[in-house]
C-alpha cells in the first residue's frame, strides 16, 4: 500500500470512528414499563393531615430485573382550589434498587426517595377483577416541607387500602412530558376505573372504614388502573 492510499485509509477510519461516537452520543434511550396494578386515592381520616397516595405495582421493564412497586405520597398544603384540596409531592417508597436509583438520580423531581425491602409495600390486583389491594407494613414518613406551599410532617402507620373498581372502563393517554432536570420525558397509555376505597389503619384507629367519599364525582375520586409507560432520553 503506497503512502497516499494509507493516508486515505487512516482518514476514512477516523471518519467512521467519529461517526460511530457521534451516533452513540446522540442515541435515544427508550424504556417501556408495564404497570399491571395501580391505585390513586385521597386518605382523609378525621383528625389527621389529609394525604393522597398513588401506588404503582406489578411493574416490569427491561431496565431493571424482577418486579417493582412504588408508592408516591402527596401531603395537603392546607390550601384549596376550585373546592378541591391542593397537594404537594413529598415522599416516595420503592422496593427495587435499580428502579429506585432511576427515580432518585435520573428523574430527580425532589421527592424524598426511600428504598425498602420487597414485601414491605405491595400493590395487588385480585385475580382478573377491578379490585386492587394496597398494603404497607412499615410507617410511611413524610417530612415537613417549606417554600411557598409548606406541608406538615405526616407519618401514615402500617395499613391496608382496598379499592373496588366499578365496571366502566375509561382510557387515558398522557402525551410526552418533560420530567426532572436531566432531560427525561415520559408518556403513558392505560385504562382506569372509578373505585370505592376502604382503609384499615390501626395506628390511626381507623378500621375498615371508607375514605375519599367526599371526592366522588370529582377529579380526585379514587381510581384503579393498569398502564404502560414510555421513558425517553434524547
Alpha-carbon distance 198 to 212, whole Å? 9
Q: Can you give the pLDDT at residue 163?
A: 98
Beta bridge partners of residue 186, listed in sequence order: 177, 231
Residues 6+ apart with CB under 8 A from 127: none
Flag whether pLDDT at 61 surpasses 90: yes
CA 1 to chain centre: 61
**Nine-digit cell string for 156:** 401514615
pLDDT band per the 50, 70, 90 thresholds, residue 170:
very high
- Indicate the pTM of the whole model: 0.86
pLDDT in tens, 144-158: 999 889 999 999 999
| Nearest-5° Cα angle at 202, 197 to 203 | 115
Flag whether pLDDT at 2 surpasses 70: no
* Beta carbons of 220 and 197 less than 8 angstroms apart: no
| Nearest-5° Cα angle at 201, 199 to 205 | 115
Beta bridge partners of residue 185, listed in sequence order: 178, 232
Percent of the chain's residues with pLDDT above 90: 86
Alpha-carbon distance 69 to 120, whole Å? 10
Percent of the chain's residues with pLDDT above 70: 89
Amino acid at each position: 500500500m503506497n503512502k497516499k492510499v494509507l493516508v486515505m485509509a487512516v482518514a476514512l477510519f477516523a471518519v467512521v470512528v467519529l461517526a460511530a461516537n457521534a451516533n452513540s452520543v446522540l442515541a435515544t434511550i427508550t424504556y417501556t414499563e408495564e404497570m399491571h396494578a395501580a391505585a390513586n386515592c385521597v386518605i382523609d381520616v378525621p383528625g389527621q393531615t389529609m394525604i393522597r397516595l398513588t401506588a404503582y405495582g406489578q411493574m416490569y421493564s427491561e431496565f431493571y430485573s424482577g418486579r417493582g412497586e412504588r408508592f408516591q405520597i402527596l401531603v395537603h398544603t392546607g390550601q384549596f382550589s376550585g373546592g378541591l384540596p391542593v397537594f404537594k409531592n413529598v415522599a416516595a417508597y420503592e422496593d427495587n434498587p435499580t428502579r429506585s436509583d432511576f427515580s432518585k438520580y435520573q428523574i430527580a423531581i425532589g421527592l424524598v426517595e426511600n428504598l425498602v425491602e420487597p414485601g414491605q409495600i405491595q400493590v395487588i390486583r385480585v385475580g382478573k377483577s377491578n379490585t386492587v389491594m394496597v398494603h404497607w407494613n412499615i410507617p410511611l414518613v413524610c417530612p415537613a416541607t417549606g417554600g411557598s406551599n409548606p406541608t406538615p410532617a405526616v407519618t401514615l402507620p402500617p395499613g391496608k387500602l382496598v379499592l373496588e373498581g366499578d365496571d366502566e372502563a375509561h382510557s387515558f393517554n398522557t402525551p410526552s412530558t418533560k420530567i426532572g432536570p436531566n432531560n427525561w420525558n415520559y408518556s403513558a397509555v392505560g385504562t382506569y376505573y372509578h373505585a370505592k376505597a376502604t382503609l384499615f389503619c390501626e395506628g390511626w384507629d381507623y378500621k375498615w372504614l371508607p375514605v375519599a367519599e367526599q371526592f366522588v364525582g370529582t377529579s380526585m375520586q379514587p381510581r384503579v388502573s393498569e398502564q404502560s409507560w414510555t421513558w425517553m432520553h434524547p
